[in-house]
Structure 1
């Protein structure tokens, strides 16, 4: 645990983020829309359904699909409006082939396609050209290494039909802890066992050492990262090729009440999900006050 000075990070409650069902997944689109998926029981059809809510400020749109016997944990949206739900794990069929764990729906909730993105998925985000960036945790990397499948590379990009467009061949990823696809030209990830933040898809990769903490989410703005796991959050500042902690962060409401829940971050956006609401903030909008407290 790092012992940096403490700073409060206020988050605004989203009025359109009321929740009525069991939380399934939370995500951000590349253009900043928030996606939440929840499971409810439809009394009219007597079936369990999944509702995919798209939020932007006080706007909300919902797509409903029938629940499958799959434990989805990741959600995103393609630039053309199609939605994708992904399960972290996948099963193999009787012949040994992997069963689908990625399902694509049109905006009305009709299933368009399904395919396998391999087992052991840690995170999934779609860029503005429609590539599906997928990171893998250790079980997916080392179990898949035996068969030389995609998960063994730790970070892979697919097109919208499941065909590989990119494989990490440079960094020795044992576990890709966190992913932040800001755009097709700025992809960040954080991996073990080197504890490094990497930025790829520019002329030269940026490789930065970091605290030896298993950060599972991070937001990025300029030379700063707000990185967090289930126990702690830190504001990190880059000096050359080193990210060092300058603040411990506590998330609070606008009324200064302490907040706890599940964090999701992308680009400089931050969402904290409680059992009833979502709370939202941008690192860029709060950065000056956080740094001034130094």
Structure 2
């Protein structure tokens, strides 16, 4: 393939909660590579291996991490493992890892915004992580609820990201809202957003790949689906240079603006403080 066309597959997988899904994941990754020999990257859903079960948390690198390294080598692809719960001292993080085709870890991203108040006992990461595939593009990693905070995507793009890999595990009615956020994030940051959710029943599916104008390249249903797309990096760079259909150029406007935003200057907000504690709703 051309250096400016990069072929990626999002695997919207049928998964079991609270059990080891690795063999199923392995089979699906290898099946994707056999079917599409030109495939260069595979992205799987958040917490795909064990589901949302912190009891499987382990210090990285761990046995499962090494199995993913071997899978990337065997398939000869860049592989985003969705995420695993990572134990680090007294903390548990929701951590996504990316491996190159040689099985080397090139990126680990700890979820910046655990889904509080429901994702209890999970610590927040502190850094937005990117990695570069030489001659192709820079990729950023964002996990599920991270995308709800526009600052996370902007921080990845500020570091050069052109493609946002977004593994998610959503089984609630707000997936429709997440689709809107994915498209808006793509448009306002002139980036590809690859949001890969688990299929029914552990998730609601509806994975989406949005282009740098916010356009829907593909939106899945709720069942198992292998989503193969070609990322056209020349197209993305034309959009950033001239605007989508020669319209707005938001990254340049953001770069060139002279003003600053007080909410990013470590100032407290009386209106936000008045919202009260972050806690589960109680019966009225």
TM-score by length of 2: 0.35
Q: From the two aligned structures, give the one with the greater strand fraction.
A: 1
Q: From the two aligned structures, give the one with the greater helix fraction.
A: 2
